[in-house]
Structure 1
Amino acid sequence: MIEYSIDGDGIAAIVWNMADRPMNVMNGESLAAFREAVYKAIADKAVKGVIVTSAKGDFVAGADLVNLLKESKDAAKALQNSFALQKLFRDIEKAGKPFVAAINGTALGGGYEICLACHRRIAADNPKALIGLPEATIGLLPGAGGTQRLPRMIGVSKALPMMLEGRKVDPKAALALGMVDEVVPPGELLIRAKAWLLGEGQTAHVKPWDQKGFRVPEAANTPKGMQVFTAGNAMLRARTMGNYPNAQYIMSCVYEGMLVDIDTGLKIESRYFVACTQSKEARNMIRSLFFSIGEANKLANRPKGVPTQAYTKIGILGAGMMGAGIAWAASSAGLQVVLLDSTQESADRGKAYSAGLLDKRIKAKKATEADKEKQLGLITATTSYEALKGCDLVIEAVFEDRAIKAEVTKRAEAQLAADAIFASNTSTLPITGLAEASARPANFIGLHFFSPVDRMPLVEIIRGKATSDETLARAMDFVKKIRKTPIVVNDSRGFYTSRVFATYVNEGLSLLAEGVAPALIENAGKAAGMPVGPLALADEVSLELMHRIRSQTRRDLGAAYKPDSSEPVLGLLVEKLGRMGKKAGKGFYDYPVDGKKRLWPELAQHFPVKAEQPALADVIKRLVYIQSVETARCLEEKVVIDLRDADVGSIMGWGFPPFRGGTVSQIDTVGLQPFVAECDQLAQKFGSRFTPPKLLRDMAAEGRSFYTA
């Protein structure tokens, strides 16, 4: 776990090597062993200096979150554990002999905080390694000295963004920021660490903040510090809307800690850290953004006993924005791609999309011209279906029109091997119905990508009634191959993501129809934690597309179709006013060429604003509760198979607020009984769409929750 040795020159090596873990992590057992080794080295007069490093490909990944959540249930005990860890790191700093962190690979969170406690940080030149304090991304803060040491080392204005945004940088970027002191070739890492210890390190083992007269130049009681914290607080509020307590705690740790000595600052940090661990926001984020996404990426729901599919060549039908994006993702993973469209011009334009993305990467020095040539060489833009021969998988990404989809399905399948998979990228049309055009429905599946594909990490895999276990397993293998996160759902109109996402937009339209001020609707959406307001989101999706989908649904369902309160709003804008959305330059917003978008001033003429407006909190509740109610219906109907997929899908698919943990976790956070009661009240006021399904009523009556912890 922790290897300890001393060489003939008096240099001790403390080497992290947790044999039972893929990466080194900080937990009770590993920290006890590390503590023992540290004090052994400090006490040994023969030891002139200490190298802290790792025998694994990476340094230390950070805290063991399972262990952290378990131990943090008792706040008093958690605080004592934090104080003990802070003392260990302070004893390294005050050891009277030099410690150097030889960072051979990724060092994140607590792993990097070990490095910060050392007197020097030397990193191997490994471009795949990541260094940083990403705790903010899971609702926590750096709790082992990070909020106190990093600002003192590189300055408050540099350190705050690193911590508040949870940035992870490569070794060279870390060097430029001052987060490490040297970057050397991997083979020279330990040689250089030892040379420093025996040389400069013999007189450079007192930290600047332990030297007389040290002052933080950007502390809050300095002119520059006042500017940094004033602007920082304003920016933080604008970005988080006060929904993420850990972000405010990070700001407070730095603000308060830079006004006092390091030891007092560390105590301040410990108290804020424990407060974070007790928050519902942190537990929601850790559950969904760490554990649940981790399980999804490990293909936890993959059918057992199916050999892993090795992909070499895939086909994509339709070179529009979605098809071009999928081509980019597949070629980025080294796959040959046949990008097919009805005209060569369209196919070439789809390939050019990848060229454009590669040009941006080259400009950012993340790729070379050789990389571009190699990746573009994998994409064949064509109009010929014969080019699909040899494809392991074909993904259809054409218009949301059953007839067109049926035609391309038949033409593509005529060129494919009997065991090849055919997938549809439809966002709403049931897969079982689309599979009727297939000669092999067992090999037919839905792969719903999100736009823009190059940035959106989620793929919703939809299983039709005839889809085989083998096809599902092989489809999951493809999603993993292109480095996306899969969730698996059963077939339904709109599946899970489109169905629930639509409720957010529709509720915004319903509020507008009721006379709620457009600005209040939009601000409530953002204050709730959504990326944008529902009206802006409707514009981005395209009002015309939404209207077309509803028309198709109406034709499919006939008399069974039930219009909702948002439908007249959409019909008016598209059919009578010709406002089609952002792409057309006009929707709920105007999009001037030479300025920022703004709400269409004439909205009030068509949707008069009532004199009495609802409270912001009430609008927020409607916008977020409706999403959880519809998710519960998806669970009851067995559309969603796994709770974790529901939460992961909502956060990664359409930006449901991470601090709420996802649409399922939100119900648990509120509590089943109060959630059901509040939804019943909403249903009485605004309509049956808020009526809780039987699943929620039964769980509330039995005192159950979705998650046990």
Structure 2
Amino acid sequence: MTYKTIKVETDNDGIALVTIDLPGKSMNVWDADLIEDFAKWVDTFVADDTVKGAVITSSKPTGFLAGADLNMLGGMGGSAPSTPKEQFEAAFGLNRMLRKLETGGHAAKDLLKGNAHAKPVAAAVNGLALGGGLELVLACHHRVVADNPKIQLGVPEVQVGLLPGGGGTQRLPRLAGLQNAAMMATQGKPLDPNTAKGQGIIQEVVPADDVVAKAKEWVKANPKVTQPWDKKGFKFPGGGGAMDPRAVQFFIGSNAMAQKSTQHNYPAVQYILSCLYEGSIVPIDTALRIESKYFVKLMTSDQTRNMIRTLFINKQAAEKGEQRPKDVPPTELKKVGVLGAGMMGAGIAYVTAKGGMEVVLLDRDLEYAEKGKAYSQGIVEKGVSRGKVTKEKGEELLARITPTTDYSDLKDVDMIIEAVFEDPDIKADVIKKTEAVIGSDVIFASNTSTLPITGLAKHSERPDQFIGIHFFSPVDKMPLVEIIPGEKSGDKSLAAALDYVRMIKKTPIVVKDTRGFYTNRVVPPYINESMLLVTEGVNPALIENAAKQLGMPVGPLALCDETSQELGLRIARATAKETGQDPSGEPVFQLLETFVDKLGRKGRKSGGGFYEYPEGGKKHLWKGLSEYYPLAKNQPSVDEVLDRLLYAQLIPAAQCYEEGVVHDPQSADLGAIFGWGFAPWTGGPMSHIDTIGLEAFVRKAESLAQKHGSRFNPPKKFREMAEAGDKLYKSAA
């Protein structure tokens, strides 16, 4: 029999070597072709008496098997399969196939009585095995993994709103115990081979060149096998079932901890725990059906569809250069000049060097330039101490960064990234000095966070090669980058910017050239709403907890401290100067003046803002705040505060979409989640608006506008879409 995705070779001992190799793909995944091929092979394997056992491995240098093709899974939320029964059968297909592999096609009752045995199947894992890849490994009777600490073994499905749907919630606890299984499945964090072996998930860790030979050796020595859970008297490691005191205590504690960390926003976590609980009190065949039931509930939900679309499909498309001009040749970037060695410039220098490029880090003072390089040294030293990078690799990275004050050192760079102080005059000066020495074809990018690129490009003699690349702080941790073409930016500059972002492994979105771009158009209204609530006497703890319940990583008052009240006041005054409007009567402006000018509480860096930051202690809300903003006698409900904080983000995000600041809903969603941490469980603001429905969105926004002010008025485009019954993601209709 011939296959598209696997190669089967049977040796003289009757042992089949099954090698997974999806053609044209860099990584093996469970796609429709592999599922079809593997099911055919399993049927042949259990029926052919001349085949005595099997070893399953991969020919890909990238890994063993990385789980299911999420592009394929995304279709389950749509029109086909249509009925609940069809959806269940489709979801249960992988479980059915893997169960047949591990039982040899025999009934569980025959295995239990010892009247039948399965043919031995061993996994020879030569690279990462994640999700459905690890579930295939778990269905094998013996598991041999290459001795490489970088190999990842895990079930990360929860990160896109799913649960392991190929037996992961059932075989893991039967091998490693309920607690270890819960940690893996609810957090989605992978294990290295030796840790997995220590938990009983795999049996052998051997040199990479020996994995297949060792697996074959085991198969040959064990002609008749039965999985532990198919044997009479099997018990969960560490206890399991509804009556075991250890399991009872585990489920009580794990459920409480899970809901505390997820704020009830992630049903996948709850369903994983349900699979573990229900599966621990029934035979595995029933348990696998329970798992598939919960898998279907998630797979057909709006939330999971939104998370898969934004966090995987659209993120991957953006990182592969979906918005890159197709007719521009790839940009060769070997050396990059970074202007300004402050916090942003130092971070940009680090990620650029980490991406394999040489960096010329220029500042007006050599001490500052060297301090900028020292930032990278600090990251490298921490990585070495934690075993995340070798000393040699760290030294190679640092050697690629050259601090300087001499503009002539920029003469042979392939790209410039400017990250000097946010002042148009200072930027104009460095643009002219830099263009005097760099090559005529070099792209010049500005890391400005608010100044329009078209205005800055007026100081350039080559505006067609001038573009914005807006990073977020801290650069080494924040995944998003905004690419901002100016009015005269050409395709070459856009292509080069996207090529650079791909090299540093960030997620790009292309946005319109306007003050604040996208993220800085949305975050200030969100922070301002939280400060306005403070001036109204709302308890700061209520504000912060409402944001956390929404799913934000930190509360908006804490975020304000991070960005600093001083910066907020400076921007407010600059905006007032530019627009000619007087903000002195606005409550938020008055609060910022009080904090900065009167109290000296300018934010975290200055020692305090809304929070206190005791040295060696835990941050806590500033108790003195109530002296200036007394608590109101009647406090709003959590839901009321949550709605204001949510719509303070949804409305400006919708306005940016209406104005074309972001050109499509996927960019708006990616920018929100990866730029300022908008609640990932929603899939992003546009996905969330689609989920609640545009009519409901408009109705709620109008209600908030009537009660709290015109800032909550929904954009005209969204009113029109609501009346027409439209959706932002048309394919999701």
- TM bin, normalised by shorter chain, reads over 0.9
SS of the residue corresponding to residue 608 of structure 2 reads coil
Q: Which amino acid aligns with 1:24?
A: N
The answer on 1:101 being equivalent to 2:123 is: yes
CA contact (8 A) 1:218 1:228 kept: no
The answer on 1:373 being equivalent to 2:395 is: yes
Paired with 2:216 and 2:6, the residues of 1 have a C-alpha distance of 19
The C-alpha deviation readout for 1:130-173, integer Å capped at 9, x for no partner, is 32111000000001100010111112222212111111344444
The equivalent residue for 2:134 is 112
What aligned pairs does 1:314-463 form with structure 2 within 5 A after superposition?
314-463=336-485
1:446, distance to aligned residue in structure 2 (A): 1.1
The answer on 1:633 being equivalent to 2:655 is: yes
Paired with 2:528 and 2:499, the residues of 1 have a C-alpha distance of 35
The equivalent residue for 1:88 is 97
The C-alpha deviation readout for 1:519-541, integer Å capped at 9, x for no partner, is 11111010000001110110011
TM-score, length of structure 1 as denominator length = 0.96
The C-alpha deviation readout for 1:535-565, integer Å capped at 9, x for no partner, is 0110011111121222222223334989865
CA contact (8 A) 1:553 1:561 kept: no
What aligned pairs does 1:162-311 form with structure 2 within 5 A after superposition?
162-199=184-221, 201-203=222-224, 205-216=225-236, 217-219=238-240, 221-311=243-333
| Stretch moving more, 583-592 or 121-130 | 121-130
SS of the residue corresponding to residue 458 of structure 2 reads helix
Paired with 1:163 and 1:122, the residues of 2 have a C-alpha distance of 21
The equivalent residue for 2:519 is 497
The equivalent residue for 2:57 is 53
The C-alpha deviation readout for 1:431-454, integer Å capped at 9, x for no partner, is 222222222222221111111111
1:397, distance to aligned residue in structure 2 (A): 1.4
CA contact (8 A) 1:646 1:663 kept: yes
TM-score, length of structure 2 as denominator length = 0.93
CA contact (8 A) 1:157 1:218 kept: no
The equivalent residue for 2:46 is 42
Q: Which amino acid aligns with 1:12?
A: A
| Stretch moving more, 484-493 or 404-413 | 404-413
Paired with 2:519 and 2:501, the residues of 1 have a C-alpha distance of 17
Q: Which amino acid aligns with 1:71?
A: M
Among 30, 34, 41, the residue aligned to 1:30: 34
Paired with 1:689 and 1:47, the residues of 2 have a C-alpha distance of 71
Compared CA separation, residues 563 and 9, structure 1 to 2 (3 A): farther
Unaligned runs of 5+ in 2: 105-117
Paired with 2:518 and 2:93, the residues of 1 have a C-alpha distance of 46
The equivalent residue for 2:20 is 16
Compared CA separation, residues 663 and 348, structure 1 to 2 (3 A): same
Paired with 1:530 and 1:428, the residues of 2 have a C-alpha distance of 23
SS of the residue corresponding to residue 319 of structure 1 reads coil
Paired with 2:24 and 2:375, the residues of 1 have a C-alpha distance of 44
Paired with 1:503 and 1:122, the residues of 2 have a C-alpha distance of 54
Unaligned runs of 5+ in 1: none
The equivalent residue for 1:79 is 88
Paired with 1:465 and 1:206, the residues of 2 have a C-alpha distance of 68
CA contact (8 A) 2:173 2:181 kept: yes
CA contact (8 A) 2:74 2:309 kept: no
1:128, distance to aligned residue in structure 2 (A): 5.1
Paired with 1:562 and 1:42, the residues of 2 have a C-alpha distance of 80
The answer on 1:583 being equivalent to 2:587 is: no
Among 581, 591, 596, the residue aligned to 2:618: 596
The answer on 1:507 being equivalent to 2:511 is: no
Paired with 2:414 and 2:360, the residues of 1 have a C-alpha distance of 11
1:127, distance to aligned residue in structure 2 (A): 5.3
1:71, distance to aligned residue in structure 2 (A): 3.4
The C-alpha deviation readout for 1:652-683, integer Å capped at 9, x for no partner, is 11100111111111110110111011101111
The alignment-based identity, stated in percent, is 50
| Stretch moving more, 31-40 or 536-545 | 31-40
Compared CA separation, residues 93 and 563, structure 1 to 2 (3 A): farther
The C-alpha deviation readout for 1:8-52, integer Å capped at 9, x for no partner, is 110013332332544333244432221111121111112111112
Paired with 1:358 and 1:325, the residues of 2 have a C-alpha distance of 12
Compared CA separation, residues 93 and 411, structure 1 to 2 (3 A): same
The answer on 1:62 being equivalent to 2:58 is: no
The equivalent residue for 2:590 is 568
Compared CA separation, residues 518 and 689, structure 1 to 2 (3 A): same
1:426, distance to aligned residue in structure 2 (A): 1.6
Paired with 1:661 and 1:366, the residues of 2 have a C-alpha distance of 30
Among 156, 164, 169, the residue aligned to 1:142: 164
| Stretch moving more, 378-387 or 79-88 | 79-88
The answer on 1:680 being equivalent to 2:689 is: no
SS of the residue corresponding to residue 282 of structure 1 reads helix
SS of the residue corresponding to residue 580 of structure 2 reads helix
The answer on 1:654 being equivalent to 2:676 is: yes
CA contact (8 A) 2:19 2:57 kept: yes
